[in-house]
Structure 1
Amino acid sequence: MHRLGFVLSEGFQLMALATQAVFEFANDVVGDKFYGFACYSVAGGDLTSSSGVRIGTRPLASCTEADTWLVPGASDPIVAPAEPEVLRFLRRAGRHARRMAGLCTGGFVLAEAGLLDGRRATTHWLFARDMQARHPDVRVDDDRIFIVDGPVWTSAGMTAALDLALAMVEADLGGDVARAVAHKLVMPQRRTGGQSQHSELLELAPKSDRIQQALDYARGHLKQALSVEALAGVANLSPRQFSRVFAAETGQSPAKAVEGLRLEAARLMIEQSRHPLEVVARESGFRDRRHLREVFIRHFGVPPQLTRRGARSSG
């Protein structure tokens, strides 16, 4: 049996325990209790999550070993630093466990314990700068949903922990089992660690259905020209009125928004596929490979090839 230990502290984020469902369903898929898991805290007993739900835990001293230790985050890792006893325990556990994982801001706890020194790590984008400032020896990447650096795993906020857990299942039991678990959890896809924490459509956040429909159309037809006239037709507005309403609702021009959607699509293809850049450019609506490279560098500061290498090394 692969033993999983969740190290909790008062005020932990309850969402992190949703990862237990990933391992539970993995047991169902293989028809055996491959994973066993339990929650621990310094003294044991009931702990209260940030949402007020109470969870029973065992004392850390009662656990001799675990194969994987997972540390959920707190609502505010700056205000609620880790308990000294937890840090001492994790330092010892890190010498023997197969894996150590920081879920969301749980990465701060691993960093405080010194387990992230010299390693790449991620955390919730809202706290990434704080992590880098507090722990300069950690190479923080604030735009990945999870990162694996040797035996240490870290994830971005909230639902990204599910992706990390599924990746653990794939590492332990194979891709077919991981896909079956994702299907049981009704997840639209199993995201790889190289994916961005940010979504261009979420950033735009239009207020009206008309503008949302135009954006949905644009995202589904990136290979087309997507002129203002075409998008205005989808929204059933005149081009002038569409441009004015679009800018008021999103803070961007239609052309700028379309470029952002194309860059998002291109970046995902670059990170998740082996398609040549000529194909990526064509499928995401850029004129050619050179045009893609120019826009990519202007927006991200690095060429597409470097992004692809980085995504492969993080997985």
Structure 2
Amino acid sequence: MPQESSQPRPHRVVVIVDQNSNPFELGCATEVFGLRRPEIGRDLYEFRLCSPAPRTLMRDGFFTLTGVAGLAAAETADTLIVPNRPDTDVPRRPAVLAAVRRAHARGARLVGFCSGAFTLAEAGVLDGRRATAHWQWADSFRARFPAVRLESDVLFVDDGDILTSAGSAAALDLGLHLVRRDHGAEVANSVSRRLVFAAHRDGGQRQFVERPVPDLPDESLAPVLAWAQERLDEPLTVADLAARAAVSPATLHRRFRTELGTTPLVWLTGERLTLARRLIERGESGFDAVARHSGLGTAANLRALLRRETGLNPQDYRRRFGPTPA
């Protein structure tokens, strides 16, 4: 008799597609969770689409989706991505809301991209929880679902077993965040390279960054960011970044806010922590060495920042994402 594989099956991600769903976010989910990853050497996820109807007309009648599984596929999801669509005032199908409630009750992770937060809220699983949605729907969302703690000016919100993102491209940010959470920073960086997308934009960054037309042409921050990323192990300060950009620290701060929606110090700390995570995953020996090589200084600082970011201490992070012992 053939022997069963000892390898656990990959984490199963199921996307519910419903009438008038947005193709873009569906594409984001497919790109992040549905593609094979030969460059990594293993499948990260098992991915399925499902729908409550045999034929699903997508947003504005762009195309009709057929040939996907029925709604019963949602019953086996480890992560369930709920429908999102522009007609937020139209109630979701009762069968879809019931599937979301059942998934939540059995401990599945729920994800809402863009207006998917409306689906989660209608299902009643967001009451008392943190969430976000596209900024243009913030007022109507708060009026309809006052029990939800909406954070309307961030890219995404990770509230443990329920995660939501703002519109369009933020779906990729949240998708990569989930890959990073499930498989570590090194794998997430590999996925982002294939997507040709920023490896890490923190969820707390602003959704909408003002970019006023300057009086004089202004250079991008890209050169100084690349320069800093090559020197993360050095004691870089905001003043060092400003000097490299040939501007004052105050001007550098304004440019970071304008171009990245964050501050130089927050960006620098995030880059160092991402490097530290990758070093741990690669098997760098000694957390003091990891902290030193990533510019975080001490193992105590590494421990505090890693726990704040991932909920894990360095030892647990290494056990989960580090090299498999020979």
TM range (shorter): 0.5 to 0.7
- 2:22 aligned to 7, 13, 30, which one? 13
Output the amino acid matched with 1:20: T
Say if 1:31 and 1:54 are closer, same or farther in 2 by CA, change over 3 A.
farther
Describe the shift of the 1:217–1:115 C-alpha distance in structure 2 as closer, same or farther (beyond 3 A): closer
Aligned residues: 242
**2:191 corresponding residue in structure 1:** 181
C-alpha separation between the residues in 2 aligned to 1:26 and 1:269?
A: 36
TM-score, normalised on structure 2?
0.66
Q: Which residue of 1 aligns with 2:179?
A: 169
What is the CA distance between 1:215 and its match in structure 2? 3.8
Provide the rounded CA distance (Å) in 2 between the counterparts of 1:64 and 1:23: 18
Shift in Å at residue 269 of structure 1?
A: 3.3
For the Cα contact (< 8 Å) 2:176–2:199, is it kept in 1? Answer: no
Quick check: 1:5–1:39 contact (8 Å CA) kept in 2?
Answer: yes
Q: 1:174 to 1:314 in 2, by over 3 A?
A: closer
| 1:191 Cα deviation after fit | 1.1
Specify the alignment match of 1:295 in structure 2: none
Match of 1:33 in 2: 43
Residue 126 of structure 2 is aligned to residue 116 of structure 1 = yes
CA distance in 2, matches of 1:157, 1:212: 30
> 1:7 deviation in Å?
1.0
Q: State the Cα RMSD in Å.
A: 3.1
| Structure 1 residues 99 and 273, CA gap change in structure 2 (3 angstroms) | farther
Q: Is the 8 A contact 1:29 1:177 kept in 2?
A: no
More helix by share: 1
Change over 3 Å in CA distance of 1:111–1:270 after alignment to 2? farther
Cα distance in 2 for partners of 1:197, 1:81 equals: 26
Unaligned runs of 5+ in 2: 1-9, 225-241, 271-304, 312-326
Give the equivalent residue in structure 2 for 1:224.
247
Tell me which of 65, 72, 77 is aligned to 1:61. 72
CA contact (8 A) 1:193 1:314 kept: no
Range 145-154 or range 47-56, more displaced? 47-56
- For 2:201 and 2:217, the matched residues in 1 are separated by 26
Q: In the aligned structure 2, how far is the partner of 1:33 from the partner of 1:263? A: 37
Cα deviation, residue 94, structure 1: 0.6
Matches within 5 A, 1:208-219: 211=214, 214-216=217-219
TM-aligned CA deviation for residue 84 of structure 1: 1.3
Change in Cα spacing, 1:314 to 1:215, as seen in structure 2 (3 Å) is farther
How is 1:275-294 mapped onto 2 (pairs within 5 angstroms)? Answer: none
TM-score normalised to structure 1 length: 0.68
Cα distance in 2, alignment partners of residues 62 and 183 from structure 1: 31
- Residue 4 (structure 1) aligns with: 13
- The counterpart of 1:70, out of the listed 63, 81, 84, is 81
